[in-house]
Structure 1
Amino acid sequence: MSVWHGAQARRRTAVALAAVSLAVSLTACGGTDDDGKSGADSSSSAPAADKSKAEDQGKDDGPTVPDTSKTLATINGSDGFQFVIHTAARDSGGFLTVTGTIKNTASSAQSVPIRWNGSEQQIKQTGRSLAGMTLIDKAGKKRYYVLRDTDGYPLTTTGVTRLDAGAGVAFFAQFPAPPSSTTQVDLQLPLMPTATIEIS
């Protein structure tokens, strides 16, 4: 009897060791995270997180929201449109970016004048924009136009066709930077009065 009981005890010990070994192997391969999810589930969620991060990095960080703490000039048109110019800043790449807000001060909705697009044939084909805006360096006797990308699209706010009464929309326009000695330029837009702005 003692021999039989000894053999049975050894078998139980072997089964227990095998179970422990299997559990350790499963823990090493899969495991669980702090929420009790298996390792396989955790790894399958990683690509989604990476995709979300990539999408965030791919978002356009262009100048869509101007710094409204300053006002360089306020331009009032006869049709109720108002341009408030907030900044005219140089950057290290040799560009000058003008930012501001277009407001409709009229009591009813208004369509944006198509002449703000400019008169160039190529610009007319790229849709509504502020490509008709220009800067005049009176000291250097030069006129600067809104820059274009490699496909001919203007580097300015696009797609604004109508503004409700009292509504406003932020805008930007990018130009070649005048010489560093130029500290003031005149901003011109079709159908609007000319305004002199300081370059920072």
Structure 2
Amino acid sequence: MDLRDNKSRLVLIVIALGAALVIGVASCSGGGDDSGTDTSQENQSGQDGEGGDESAEPSGDEESQAENEVLAEVTGEQDITLTITSAERESGGFLTVEGTLHNGGGDGWRATAWAGEERELAGNGFSMAGATLTAHEEGKRYLILRDTEGRCLCTNFGLEIGAGDSVNWFAQFPEPDPGTTEVDFQIGQMPPATIEIS
């Protein structure tokens, strides 16, 4: 009886493998033709400069390019380089500014003065709390947003930024007027950085 059971199992396995092979060959032959057509169409649309937004891969490339785009870059305060890569209006009436901070000096760097001169923001320590936006078109200066306990809606760097290190940062402000397209970002003793709002 064991021999019969083994033969039955072997027959079932062969039948299952055969069916899987037939299905696999059918799907591969159909999928190969479709993918070849899609690839050639994507290549043609890429060469013509049309239809690039419709495919998933170019949109991923565009996102990575947007992340690496530099809106402004300034250097000051002990070889510290402030780079701004994004300034976007958000729903809810605020503006989010993002970028990187690089310590080009030979020592760790810390600047508690970056928390600003407002007493309410003093508890934020080494952070982007003292950052401001100046909209010359409006004649207005925007201060960092904060919660009810005085914590800024921004990055807190902690103890220090090590020599040669780069860190990401963000800061949120009230949204400037809809017609305002350009603002000056400034913090601490760094030179102002003029950025365009998207």
- TM-score between the two structures when normalised by the length of structure 2: 0.64
Show CA shifts across 1:3-41 (max 9, x none). Answer: xxxxxxxxxxxxxxxxxxxxxxxxxxxxxxxxxxxxxxx
Contact 2:133 2:184 in 1 (8 A): yes
**Structure with the larger helix share:** 2
Alpha-carbon deviation of 1:95? 0.5
Corresponding residue for 2:24?
none
Provide Cα deviations, 1:32-65, integer angstroms capped at 9, x if missing partner.
xxxxxxxxxxxxxxxxxxxxxxxxxxxxxxxxxx
Cα 1:159–1:78 change in 2 (3 A) is closer
The 3 A distance-change label for structure 1 pair 167 and 126 is closer
- Counterpart of 1:130 in structure 2 is 128
The change in CA–CA distance for 1:103 and 1:143 in structure 2 (over 3 A counts) is same
- Equivalent-residue separation in structure 1 for 2:150 and 2:77 (angstroms): 31
2:67 is paired with a residue whose SS is coil
Task: Give the match for residue 48 of structure 2.
Answer: none
Structure 2 gap ranges (5+): 1-65
The 1:126/1:69 distance shift into structure 2, 3 A limit, reads closer
- On the 8 A contact 1:68/1:100 being kept in 2, the answer is no
Offset at residue 157 of structure 1 (A): 0.3
How is 1:168-183 mapped onto 2 (pairs within 5 angstroms)? Answer: 168-183=166-181
Partner of 1:142: 140
Following TM superposition, where does structure 1 have runs of at least 4 consecutive aligned residues deviating by more than 4 angstroms?
Answer: none
1:160 CA displacement: 3.3
Q: CA RMSD in A?
A: 1.3
Which has the greater radius of gyration?
1
1:192 and 1:142 map into 2 onto residues whose CA distance is 20
Q: 1:162 offset after TM fit, Å?
A: 1.4
Structure 1 residue 72, shift from structure 2 partner: 0.2
**In percent, how many aligned pairs have the same letter?**
43
In the aligned structure 2, how far is the partner of 1:164 from the partner of 1:118? Answer: 22
Within-5 A mapping of 1:31-180: 68-106=67-105, 108-180=106-178
Equivalent residues of 2:71, 2:195 under 8 A apart = yes
TM-score by length of 1: 0.63
8 Å CA contact 1:70, 1:86 repeated in 2? yes
Residue in 1 that maps onto 2:197: 199
Q: CA, structure 1 residues 152+104, in 2 after alignment: closer, same or farther (shift >3 Å)?
A: same
* Matching residue's letter, 1:199: I
Q: Tell whether the 8 Å contact from 2:115 to 2:124 is kept in structure 1 after alignment.
A: no
Letter in 2 for 1:101: T
Measure, in 2, the Cα distance between the counterparts of 1:125 and 1:114.
10
Where structure 1 has 5 or more consecutive residues not aligned to the other structure, the ranges are: 1-66
Aligned length: 133
Amino acid at match of 1:181: G
1:165–1:127: structure 2 CA closer, same or farther, 3 Å change rule?
A: closer
Shift of 1:128: 2.8
Match of 1:50 in 2: none
State the SS of the aligned residue for 1:170. strand
Q: Deviation string for 1:120-140 (max 9, x for gaps)?
A: 112112433211100000010
* 2: CA distance, partners of 1:127 / 1:81: 18
Report the CA distance shift for 1:196/1:98 in structure 2 as closer, same or farther (over 3 A).
Answer: same
